[in-house]
Chains A and B, each alone.
Chain A
């Protein structure tokens, strides 16, 4: 009895000692994170229940769910932004993800010029998004841009177009630039994932007479599953974050046709001086992100006490 008590007292002391010992290591990062990330994030949610112009002297007035009612019933731009963000998510999962997987599979072979190919596809992703926006605005230039010039050169001049100035094409034109920029990063993730494909298994399958497709279907693809989950999650999260490209290429226009949630939250707060509505858009964005992040974290930390 007595020994049990001392043992648990000892265990408690060890635990307290550990917490104390870890504090100097943990505190600086935790403080920064708490003050400059968690607090502003939570404050955005709080502000979504207030009406506020953002000026320090102006009062913050509690309005309950009014900002959300406004978003859902009156703010047509919000619905455009939400729809565009969803389109962006779906397109990103479909196009650049498949493309980057194909590139990784091809460049995982011993193929002539492999490193050059990898660099060509990867380098756009070290460029700043705002820079990529400037480059592509030039590419889309109605008269001097390379796309319209190429279309005319091959006799498809009728298709030449004001790509960023037409509400029907603006969003998709920005998306093309994002594919150019983003595909290389996903390719590298898939290449890293391909390293976990057991070579013996591939060899064994080949000896058994399996073709390329069968090897992919039965060996490579199952081994790539964890990577694919990571890439899907990252792709969706990055889609919800899209901001710089839109700011740099259209600013959300023409006529809000290329508006997205992240930019609309910013503009409601800083351009329209409506921090309540901005906070409400931010909260919607936060909830969408958490719906993905929380299950992903639960999965990734599982079996890792």
Chain B
């Protein structure tokens, strides 16, 4: 699978262009580009305001917030807000919980989804398509549709407020989307590659693990990022299943923090910034897979 980079629609937009000299009646494209750039700059400025507010607020004292403008610089940079946030928000406890859940759930879920998608795409069963469709439906219904009975189920199984009780539903809700995406990728693997491996005596699992999975690495990487981010950020299910403070994941900790210390805006914003760092790191590490791998399958490219 080749990694594509974005192909510019209008290649003639910027830079020296031999064609421009040949056709003197062309519209002055550079002005359009400049206008576009200014529009982007203005939009980006609006998009950055919430970040600026967050960062500036995280360094301000309460007195500073009351007296000055929210977008002004702090009178005194209060780094202690970060230390306060770690203490009052139990950052380490919720961070450990979230990390534990993500580290187990994300690779395991991706593996299970890949196995299932591989079987559906490559072992030519009748009605495989129907099974894919049944999986896909699950990826598109709102979680709330299942929360009530899910709570009852976990209550009966004595799994409420446990890691297992959270990870099992997380796996179930992650699998359908991933099966749907991976099914498309596995189908794109040429039959000849698999056949020649089979002639060489490779087992089905070996073909899956050593031949097909490496070929669809961009999709797997993109799904890994998406799944890590959505697992780290999940709130609705966690708030239903987890009850004690010592089990709280990061989104629950943010919500608890803002409910209990809602007026400590400095520490609250410091807390929010710290909780977003792991997903930002993952995003930056895997950024290059984003436009290329992840969605070319999704959009039937």
Q: Which of A100-150 touch B at CB < 8 Å? A: 103, 105-113, 117, 119-124, 126-131, 134-139, 144-146, 149-150
Q: Return chain B residues, CB-CB under 8 Å to A131.
A: 233, 251, 254, 272, 275-276
Q: What is the CA–CA distance of A135 and B57 in the complex, to the nearest angstrom? A: 10
Q: Which chain B residue shows the least CB distance to A132? A: B50
Q: What is the CA–CA distance of A32 and B33 in the complex, to the nearest angstrom? A: 51
Q: Does A26 contact B (CB under 8 A)?
A: yes
Q: Return chain A residues, CB-CB under 8 Å to B71.
A: 146, 149-150
Q: How many residues of B contact A (CB 8 A)?
A: 113
Q: Return chain B residues, CB-CB under 8 Å to A165.
A: none
Among B32, B49, B142, B229, contact of A243 (Cβ-Cβ < 8 Å): B142
Q: Which of B251-301 touch A at CB < 8 Å? A: 251, 254-255, 258, 265, 268-269, 272, 275-276, 279-280, 283, 287, 290-292, 294-296, 298-301
Q: What is the CA–CA distance of A261 and B181 in the complex, to the nearest angstrom? A: 28
Stretch of A1-9, A155-163, A192-200 on the interface side: A192-200
Q: What is the CA–CA distance of A89 and B105 in the complex, to the nearest angstrom? A: 31
Q: How far is the CB of B278 from chain A (nearest CB, A)?
A: 10
Among A28, A47, A123, A209, contact of B148 (Cβ-Cβ < 8 Å): A47
Q: Return chain A residues, CB-CB under 8 Å to B235.
A: 128-130, 243-244, 247
Q: Which of B221-239 touch A at CB < 8 Å? A: 229, 232-236
Chain B residues at the A interface, C-beta cutoff of 8 Å = 4, 6-15, 19, 23, 27, 32-33, 36-37, 39-40, 43-44, 47-50, 53-54, 57, 65-66, 69-71, 112-113, 115-116, 118-120, 123-126, 129, 131-138, 140-153, 155-156, 168-169, 171-173, 175-176, 179, 187, 204, 208, 229, 232-236, 240, 250-251, 254-255, 258, 265, 268-269, 272, 275-276, 279-280, 283, 287, 290-292, 294-296, 298-301
Q: A128-B233, A282-B145, A286-B141 are in contact. List 10 more A-B contacts (CB 8 A).
A: A119-B287, A131-B251, A144-B65, A189-B299, A192-B292, A193-B299, A230-B300, A262-B144, A270-B151, A304-B129
Chain A residues at the B interface, C-beta cutoff of 8 Å = 15, 18-19, 21-22, 25-26, 28-30, 32-33, 35-41, 43-44, 47, 54, 56, 103, 105-113, 117, 119-124, 126-131, 134-139, 144-146, 149-150, 153, 180, 188-189, 191-197, 199, 202-203, 206-207, 209, 211-212, 215, 220, 226-227, 230, 237, 240-241, 243-244, 247-248, 262-263, 265-266, 269-270, 275, 278-279, 282-283, 285-286, 289-290, 292-294, 297, 300-301, 304-305
